[in-house]
């Protein structure tokens, strides 16, 4: 099927249009993820997290539709042991990162409290997101 423009010329085949939308959804997820990780306001961070999750759902639905219509070929099957190893490596790295961040934030928190208690009190009363 082709999309028609006002002068009846062919705009784009369905498959090409769906690939374009799929690529845009992938790009949008990357942008939302960046915005999530860079936001300092919990409300804004939650908003971008929700937008990321919604966009990932749409991307998954479009991918499944394209796969059913034989418009998208999947990669070859991976060995279960390779997948399990990759998952375990990612979990190990996440745990190491979590420990590192906790260690640094606890030592930074102690330093910040000792160095300027007035600033901490003032920032907790700030009504702005920044």
SS3 track for the chain: CEEECCCCCEEEEHHHHHHHHHHHHHHHHHHHHHHHHHCCCHHHHHHHHHHHHHHHHHHHHHHHHHHHCCCCCCCCCCCHHHHHHHHHHHHHHHHHHHHHHHHHHHHHHHHHHHHCHHHHHHHHCCCCCC
What's the pLDDT tens digit per position in 32-88?
Answer: 999 999 999 999 999 999 999 999 999 999 999 999 998 887 777 888 898 899 999
Global confidence as pTM: 0.57
| Average of per-residue pLDDT across 96-110 | 85
What percent of the chain has pLDDT above 90? 53
pLDDT at 78: 82
The confidence score (pLDDT) of residue 105 equals: 86
- pLDDT given for residue 111 in this prediction: 63
């Amino acid at each position: 099927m082709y999309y028609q423009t006002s002068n009846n010329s062919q705009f784009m085949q369905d498959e090409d249009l769906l690939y374009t939308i799929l690529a845009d959804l992938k790009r949008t997820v990357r942008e939302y993820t960046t915005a999530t990780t860079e936001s300092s306001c919990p409300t804004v961070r939650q908003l971008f997290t929700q937008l990321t999750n919604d966009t990932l759902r749409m991307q998954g639905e479009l991918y499944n539709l394209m796969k059913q219509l034989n418009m998208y070929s999947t990669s070859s099957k991976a060995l279960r042991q390779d997948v399990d190893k990759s998952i375990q490596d990612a979990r190990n790295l996440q745990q190491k990162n979590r420990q590192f961040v906790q260690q640094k934030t606890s030592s930074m928190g102690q330093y910040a409290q000792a160095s300027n208690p007035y600033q901490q009190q003032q920032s907790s009363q700030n009504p702005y997101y920044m």
